[in-house]
Amino acid sequence: MGYPEYRLFDAVAHQLTAFPKTNMLNAKENGQWRSHATKDVADIVNRLSAGLLAKGVSGKNFTPEGSDKIAIISNNRPEWVFADLAVQQIGAILVPMYPTTSPAEMEYILKESEAKYIFVSNEELLEKVRSLNSDSLKGIYTFDEVKGAAHYTELLALASPDLLEQVESAKKQIPNSHVATIIYTSGTTGTPKGVMLSHSNIVSNIFFRRLVFRFPTNHKQKHLAFYRSIIFLKR
């Protein structure tokens, strides 16, 4: 049995068209629950994509070697999803790292992947990244507001009508065979190894898992995400 040739970011447009939600993403901020509607998520992701384009980030020739890499090291939160989708939409490749990754492994991963920018969750992780020796990094963006650091909303502010049109054009060019993310293994038995996962790899896993576990189709269901941001793919 086959599966649709979706890209991961197609999930947002599908939800926006078929069953837009007022609470697509939910997370606690300062002890209070905050919800993000599907429309707001789509808007933030598109503007973040545009901001990355303004910084020269793109899929280039859409090969694993040629596409720009963007790293992220963060706890699970809506901004993680925003960054992941924004990177995907322009054909760049996300390189996630656990917050517990050692400085030595982080430095190796950033160098090996040639990541151009990195998103970090908070001040502690910001200082961890700043302590590294990484020639490829051109900038660091935080999700928490940290004094003296560039906040990810600075990228949103770079969005213009022209750049947003370029985002829409980029989306149309990305095949589902394109690499969406490179996940590095732990370095317990040597240096970390990068595992390339395409949109098709992940989408097929989700569709076939539905066949095995027979999840009911219910658009009102909620899903808890404890690490990787699969939450946005809820039916």
pLDDT digits (tens, 9 = 90+) for 25-80: 999 888 899 999 999 999 999 999 999 999 999 999 999 999 999 999 999 899 99
Q: What is the pTM of this model?
A: 0.89
Main-chain dihedrals φ then ψ at residue 111, nearest 5 degrees: -70, -45
pLDDT in tens, 124-147: 999 999 999 888 899 999 999 999
Bridge-based pairing state of the strands 150-151 and 179-184: unpaired
CA distance 44 to 35: 14
pLDDT of residue 29: 86
pLDDT at 234 over 60: no
Span 171-178, mean pLDDT?
96
Question: Please, are residues 223 and 234 in contact by the beta-carbon 8 Å criterion?
Answer: yes
pLDDT at 94 over 80: yes
- Domains along the chain with CATH numbers: 15-176 (3.40.50.12780)
Arithmetic mean of pLDDT over the chain: 90
